[in-house]
Structures are given as structure tokens and as C-alpha cells.
Amino acid sequence: MIKLVKVCKSFNSQKVLDNLDLEIEPEKITVIIGRSGGGKSVLLKHIIGLIRPDSGQVFIDGIDIASLSDKKLNETRKKFGMLFQDAALFDSMTVGENVAFPLKEHTVLSKKEIDEIVNKKLLQVGLKNVTHKMSSELSGGMRKRVGLARAIVLDPKIILFDEPTTGLDPIMCESINNLIVNTQQLTKATFVVISHDIESTFNIAHKVAMLYHGKIIEIGTSDEIRSSNNPIVKRFIK
């Protein structure tokens, strides 16, 4: 269970999150929408403790991670997988080593087993014969998919996706969306997805939350959001 209570965050004098309250249902896909530069990535980084709030609490399974020590935070983070907006692949490693990294760190699997899982996950995101490429040799869309494979490789309980389909062609977009839905059905993990693609948002989301001026101004099922009376929401989803 993820719950943010009265979270405030400013950078210098710029208020990005302003008394934000958000409760994310477990074992569901929640999609966060909002304007570019509106603080979606910042919100996601609060959930995994990369950014600490100026005030307020971030509860993960009942523990307030905003006030946790680094060592305890490390433990909590084992429940998480995260895809960064720009993939954040380790550029000193190959694609295969990137995806294998969480497995090597946190499991005792043999090299052969790890290789198998890595290939399977890469196949799931539509990548073949790239394990030995350096991650700096990939296209933007390929990097994103490798990042996706790395985020889901440990089958974590909570997965955060920062714009998983931005920069992909329509066909790849659809297959990534399918992957997200299927993986979620299979693992029953909690998914938090940031998306700019309104149409696919409504297709994959159990819940949609709209971030506006540092607050969640509306949260509900796809249908509820579609028929919302809030003029800001209306304008955003057209």
C-alpha cells in the first residue's frame, strides 16, 4: 500500500508538490497524468525515497519512508522496481549486464539461470540479440525497453514506470502497454505509471490520477475520469 500525506516539495523557491495527498490501491495499475513539468517524475521519486519531502509523509506498507535511514530505506526498496524517464541504464555495462544487475545483487541464482531470465525478459520487451551490445549503442526506444526489462526482472511488488511508452512507435507502444497489463495480471503487483498518452492511459489503468499545480485534483476509474465535471480534467483529456 502506498499513501502520501500532505507532501510538500520545493526546489529553490519553486513549489512543485503542494500539500499533496494520494492513496494508491495495491495490486492495481494507477496512471498519473498531468502537464509536462508539473512534477510527475518528482512525485514518483518521492514514492521510492529518492527525493525526501520538505514536509509530509510517504507510507509504504505502513512505514513512513520520508524519515527512514538510508540503510532501512535500502531494505524497503527491495519491494520496488523502477523505470526512469531516460532509462538510466549503466553505460559501463552491456544490455545483458544491465538487466542481470538486480538478479546478481539480490538473488543467489547461477549464471545460467540468470542468463535465461534475462533473455526471457528482453524477449518480453521485444528485444533480441542485443545482450552483448553496450547500452550506449542503443536507440532511445531500445534503452527504454531495456530499462523496462531491468525494472521488472525481479518481479517486485511495486513497479514505478516513468513514461514507459514515450518515444516508441505506435506498434511498440501497444505491445508495451499489453506487457504492462499482462505482467500486472500475472504478478498482481502494484503498478504506478506516468503517461502522456491519454488514450492508452484509459486502456491500461484501473485508476487514473491527475496532478495539477502540485496537487492530485481528481482520482478515479477510467470511466469516472472520462465523465469528470472538473473543467481542468476535461480540458486535459479533451
Partner 1 sequence: MIRFFEFAGRPFIAIVEECGRIMLLLFSAIVWMFRPPFRFRVILKQMEFVGVNSLTVVLITGAFTGMVFALQSYHGFRMFGGESLVGATVALGMTRELGPVFTALMVTGRAGSAMAAELGTMRVTEQIDALSTMSVNPIQFLIVPRIIAGIVMLPVLTIISDFIGIVGGYFVGVKLLKINSGIFMSRITELVEFEDIYNGLAKAVCFGLIFTLIGCYKGFYTSGGAEGVGRATTESVVFSSVTILISDYFLTSVMF
Ligand X SMILES: Nc1ncnc2c1ncn2[C@@H]1O[C@H](COP(=O)(O)OP(=O)(O)OP(=O)(O)O)[C@@H](O)[C@H]1O
- Footprint of ligand X (CB under 6 A): 11, 16, 34, 36-42, 85
How many other CB atoms sit within 10 Å of the CB of residue 68?
18
Q: Do 55 and 8 form a contact (C-beta atoms < 8 A)?
A: yes
Give the nearest distance from C-beta 105 to Mg ion in angstroms: 26
Our CB check for Mg ion shows the closer of 41 and 177 to be: 41
Among Mg ion, ligand X, partner 1, none, what binds residue 4 when CB lies within 5 to 8 Å by partner kind? none
| CA-to-CA separations, 113 to 103, 108, 161, 221, in angstroms, rounded | 10, 10, 26, 39
CB-count exposure of residue 139 (10 Å: 0-12, 13-18, 19+): exposed
Residue 84 or 202: which CB sits closer to ligand X? 84
Q: Which is nearer to ligand X, 52 or 133 (CB)?
A: 52
Name the binder of 16 from partner 1, ligand X, Mg ion, none, CB < 5-8 A by kind: ligand X
Cα–Cα dist 70/68, whole Å: 6
Residue 125 or 225 having the CB closest to partner 1: 125
Rounded to whole angstroms, the Cα distance separating 13 from 92 reads: 36
Query: Which of ligand X, Mg ion, partner 1, none lies near 102, with the C-beta cut-off 5 to 8 A by kind?
Result: partner 1
CB count within 10 Å of CB 226 equals: 14
Per the CB < 8 A criterion, the answer to whether 215 and 18 are in contact is yes
Work out what residue 84 binds among ligand X, Mg ion, partner 1, none; the CB cut-off runs from 5 to 8 Å by kind.
partner 1
Q: Are 33 and 218 in contact (CB under 8 A)?
A: no
Q: Least CB distance from residue 140 to partner 1, whole Å?
A: 13
Residue 120 in contact with partner 1, rule: CB under 8 A? no
3 state DSSP class of 126: coil
User: Considering CB distances under 5 to 8 angstroms, the limit depending on partner class, which of partner 1, ligand X, Mg ion, none binds residue 198?
Assistant: none
End-to-end CA, the chain: 31
Binds partner 1 (CB under 8 A): choice among 9, 40, 46, 77? 77
| Contacting residue, 9, 32, 33, 41, with Mg ion by CB under 5 A | 41
Contact residues: partner 1, CB under 8 A: 45, 48, 50, 70, 74-75, 77-78, 80-82, 84, 86, 88-92, 101-102, 105-106
